[in-house]
Amino acid sequence: MKNLFLTAVCSTAVLLLISGVAPKAASGSLDAAPTQSVTPSVALSATPTPVPTPTVVPTPTPAPCVREMNFISEDPPEDVLIPKYYNSLLEGDVHIYAFTDASGKVARRAYGSLETVWSDGETEVVSGFFEVDEDCKVISNTPVELESETYGEAVVLGESITVKGYKRAANGVYYFKSAGGIKHYRVYASVGGVEGIYPCDKEGNVERGALAADLEQDKLLMSYQVISLFVGDAPHVMLTAPTKTTLINMNNRLEASYVPQGMVAVSKHVHRAPFTLRNNGTYANAEALECFLEMVNAAYAEKGFDTFYLCSVYRSYSTQKELWDYRVSNNPSYGTNPLVPIGSAYPGTSEHQSGFAFDIGTLKHKVLGSYLANTAEHKWLAENSWRFGFILRYQKDKEYITGIKYEPYHFRYVGKELAEYLYSENICLEEYYDAPVRWVNVE
């Protein structure tokens, strides 16, 4: 855990006052900030005096100022909803969430626990998302209220959309149809001060923090009206007995009833290498697990890493279907656009159903995301996992070949020989089999 210390004493209180969250008044301030209420008779001295001069009785009695703020950055627990407009990134060791606020400025948040030590010795600990500055230091000792964040409050301007291809629905809401008759709604609005055409629902509601629609992409979607491009309808064969080298993707699928043979409970082997298992009910292919343990032990021996966090390995068809259904419930057009690589695999197309895929986070960063590419552990994995038979399966520059979004945490076991070959040639599994993903039959 990284500790971020704010050692400044009363200048912190000034910041607190500016951000409007200081229930406790500052005392003995050194700064004559105009917005600050300072007890007039407290002499300016080189050393801040926490206790006011006895002859002065301030009204109301000032509470002590902040002596120290000690912030421990953590990933949010699973039940904490991360706002959609938060862009996840890693700076040093701190997981930052950034977005543009209503005034057009970049606002920054970090999740964690903040211990505030007041000068009278009282200590408070609060968890949540906190506002941080450019140096990743916590600015305010009150967590942000997500409901009142000012990012991108959408103002529907309701002017008519003159772009070709959009049809009028009602109340200034427009739409167009893409593959499978899916309607995409658009409205002219201003979000975070940026005017443009925004995706919206039927009623014209624009999500907070929404990004303007990409008109070029809209045009392409409009042209896909004839052929259904739903990923579930992509041409495919059913695999019967996948091995460690088998290509599994939207075109090469596993039956709903397929459960691999010869898997082992990972929890029985946790003691053999320094890593943490998220879920004790995790199963993995036995050979792949042996190599995973070998890899973790090597990372410890070579770099001292004992921080790997194994999030998931085998996932059943029905679990994958739940994940997929959840995605689609949030976004009905999910998986209908070949220009948007998929983040959750369609049921039957996930490598996790084979027991050969390992999703790896770190103890500091348990939330899986592209930001993990910047951790020391993941940089090591990207360069060394091939030695143990693993490949970084979904790379950034291969998104349109795999059809899957960049995932720096997803490692697929293919065996040492093939892993070394793929790594040295810098090719992905689809390229190896000369079979980039196909959304439609081209014959």
Instruction: Closer to Zn ion by CB, 4 or 345: give it.
Output: 345
Residues 404-433 touching Zn ion, rule: CB under 5 A, are 410
At closest approach, how far in Å is the CB of 281 from Zn ion?
A: 17
Using CB positions, name the residue nearest to Zn ion: 410
For Zn ion, give the closer residue by CB, 175 or 258: 258
Please state the closest distance from residue 148 (CB atom) to Zn ion, in A.
35
The least distance separating Zn ion from the CB of residue 410, rounded to whole angstroms, comes to 4
- Identity of the residue, 29 or 353, whose beta carbon is nearer to Zn ion in the bound complex: 353
Based on the shown chain and the rule CB under 5 A, indicate whether residue 393 belongs to the binding site for Zn ion: no
| In the complex, least distance from residue 357 CB atom to Zn ion, rounded to whole angstroms | 5
Letters for 344-363 (x = contact with Zn ion by CB under 5 A, - = none) are: ---------------x----
165 versus 343: smaller Cβ distance to Zn ion: 343
| Least distance to Zn ion, CB of residue 387, Å | 20
Question: Given the complex with Zn ion, which of 236 and 410 has the nearer CB atom?
Answer: 410
CB of 18 to Zn ion, least distance (A): 44
Q: How many residues form the binding site for Zn ion (CB under 5 A)? A: 2
- Cis peptide preceding 143, ω within 30 of 0: no
Instruction: Give me the 259-298 binding string for Zn ion, x by CB under 5 A, dash otherwise.
Output: ----------------------------------------
Closest to Zn ion by CB, 96 vs 372, is: 372
Residue that has been written with the tokens 């009833």 in this structure: 257
Closest to Zn ion by CB, 166 vs 356, is 356
Binding stretches for Zn ion (CB under 5 A): 359, 410
